[in-house]
Amino acid sequence: MAAGDNDFPKAKVTVIVPCYNEEDVIAECLESLSFADEILVVDSFSTDRTVEIARRHTDRILQHEFWSHGAQNNWAIPQAKHDWVMIVDADERVTPELAEEIRALLRDPDRDGYYVRRRNFFLGREIRHGTWGGDRVLRLFHRGSGRYQELHVHSRVELRGRAGQCRGALLHHTFRSLEDYGRKIHRFSRGGARNEYERGRRSGAWRMLGHGAGRFFKSYVLKGGFLDGTEGFLVAYMEADHALLKYAKLWEMQRERSAPPARTRESSDPRTRRP
């Protein structure tokens, strides 16, 4: 059967993939984006083979210094060739069902953006409960209607207009090992602390303890994380660890800002003394 007008979307979409040192996962991510009219990789000057691997899948690779999660995405969006954009992280995969749904939606979009259900995996197992269960993120939107919050980590799209919901899923392969978690937790908690500091929040021992214990109780007990077995326990622990570290680093920031400047010792060389 000959291709007709309904075989292709009226609106074209650019999928933006922000990345840094993702040589282990970038290929599978880009392979899942064959539905896109353009794949735009925005790299933060990776030092591994990320860019080399990405070139096998797209000829649009831009490099831009990373300042924050929100700022990076907001810089990338105007670089897209098409008005509809989708943000996909390097550790995420678009399922064939979601890809087909997006093509159908863009034949006649009736919303300004669309939420996507995200299935989160930890150590290869899907986490169906806890704070990771029921996850949905706004990732597909008209670039004239959406902009990311200017946050260091965990920024979300602020949409001007109506949002819809996709039925298909985005697969999110989070930490591939506990060592992988250890490498990333300090970056995430530092960014979270900066967010809180810029909001004028304060921290102390009770806030560290309260947020840490509260996150564990919410994820493991209230949200049913215990139903995911050992992995569910570890996810709840990581949530608590992140919260405690974030407020510990916030306390460290406010302590450094309030410390008096260090006194410099006057030089013994008379030629360097002020008259």
pLDDT at 4: 44
Q: How far, in Å, CA of 217 to CA of 241, rounded?
A: 12
Label the pairing between strands 92-94 and 84-87: unpaired
* 235 shares its domain with 103: no
Integer-rounded Cα radius of gyration of the chain: 22
**Any domain includes 238:** yes
* 59 shares its domain with 96: yes
| Domain around 227 | 178-258
Q: pLDDT band for position 257 (50/70/90)?
A: confident
* 199 shares its domain with 116: no
For residue 217, pLDDT over 90 is answered with yes
* 87 shares its domain with 185: no
The number of residues in the chain equals 275
**Any domain includes 167:** yes
pTM above 0.75, yes or no: yes
* DSSP string of 66-90, one letter each residue: ---HHHHHHHHGGG-SSSEEEE--T
pLDDT at 259: 60
Domain boundary residue, one of 173, 198, 220: 173
* 106 shares its domain with 148: yes
Q: pLDDT band for position 184 (50/70/90)?
A: confident
* 25 shares its domain with 139: yes
